Amino acid sequence: MNKKLLLAAMLLGAGLSALAIGPATEPGKKFVYKQSAGAPQDMEVYFPPDWKAGGPKVPGVLLFHGGSWVGGTLDQFRNAAHYFASRGLVAATANYRMLKKGAGKNSHGVIESKRVCLTDAKSALRWFKQHADELGLDPQRVIIGGGSAGGHLAVLATLNPGLNDPNDPKDFDTSVAAYVLFNPAFSPQDSADAEVDVLKQLKVPFAPAIMFFGTQDTWKPGADAALKRLKELGNTTTELWLAEGEKHSFFNKQPWQDVTLAAADKFLVERGLLKGQCTLTPPAGGEKLIKAP
């Protein structure tokens, strides 16, 4: 049996022809998208309720967890993947290889994990596209995103032409239709290594993007610099939304998790990547995001 038929059989065998996902924290269908340094790297995939093999292709979203490039787990974005799948997307969240904390820095003075993580992030995106037919997604309408270090990797995976795994299929590029970025960690220290420096890799066209930050997040200046650079390049489709008084990773807790997901939902609807109305209830406390000028 070829790989495509095997994957389709796995999906059907898992009962995913009419998937009804349980609790939001329940893992999606697990796949190993590559072996990295002898260890499997996992991707969990969630499917829309009416998903069936051979059905209409829909947009997909791939999310990378944070963890300072040395930690983190797939459960960070299981709720988000579950929600996006309920809204009609094929949603996935992926692991990536990480070096042990304190493993050292490269010759540029930047932690080596960033390069290792980026190579795997690019592999995950290519795998997602490579298996678009079996997963039922449109490879031309893939959304990418992540939180903190995962947001940094999501952007660089689409922009940096280097740091590729030589075993990756060369027929699949890393372009995307949009970004959903939860306080992406863009560091001034990365300027010493162009391969992992978002500012050095930014270029236009740059897919429409939405970023979320707390106003008290010490990582926010890096995003401000990226937004300034994009404006200098003529980009007008990047949005920054702020949570007053919140710090880093505020989006992991309620009500901000739902608030940011609702804003991402609206953003994707406006760009034709989602249809219908957001199904999340506004918070009773009235918490809301403010769009930066």
pLDDT band at 105 (very low <50, low <70, confident <90, very high): low
Count of structural domains, the chain:
1
CATH number of the domain encompassing residue 273: 3.40.50.1820
Task: Quote the domain boundaries for residue 158.
Answer: 3-291
pLDDT band at 196 (very low <50, low <70, confident <90, very high): very high
Give residue 18's pLDDT.
28
| Other residues' Cβ atoms within 10 Å of the Cβ of residue 4 | 12
User: Do residues 62 and 45 lie in contact, with contact meaning Cβ atoms separated by under 8 Å?
Assistant: no
Give residue 273's pLDDT.
98
Both tokens assigned to 130? 């490579």
Find the range with the poorest average confidence among 10-19, 80-89, 180-189, 227-236.
Answer: 10-19
Percent share of the chain, pLDDT over 90: 81
DSSP string spanning 157-178?
HHH---S--TTS-TT-----SE
What's the average model confidence in pLDDT over 3-12? 43
Q: Is the pLDDT confidence value at 185 over 80?
A: yes
Give residue 26's pLDDT.
85
User: Do residues 210 and 241 lie in contact, with contact meaning Cβ atoms separated by under 8 Å?
Assistant: yes
Q: What is the pLDDT of residues 197-230, one digit of tens each?
A: 999 999 999 999 999 999 999 999 999 999 999 9
Give residue 99's pLDDT.
78
Q: Which of 9, 44, 7 is nearest to 28 (CA)?
A: 44
Task: Map residue 188 onto helix, strand or coil.
Answer: helix
Q: Is the pLDDT confidence value at 269 over 50?
A: yes
- 171-188 b/e (C-beta count within 10 Å ≥ 16 → b): ebebebbbbbbbbbbbbe
Q: Is the pLDDT confidence value at 23 over 50?
A: no
pLDDT band at 101 (very low <50, low <70, confident <90, very high): low
Q: Between 214 and 4, whose confidence is greater?
A: 214
Q: Is the pLDDT confidence value at 108 over 80?
A: no
Q: What is the pLDDT of residues 26-56, one digit of tens each?
A: 899 999 999 998 899 999 999 999 998 888 9
pLDDT band at 5 (very low <50, low <70, confident <90, very high): very low
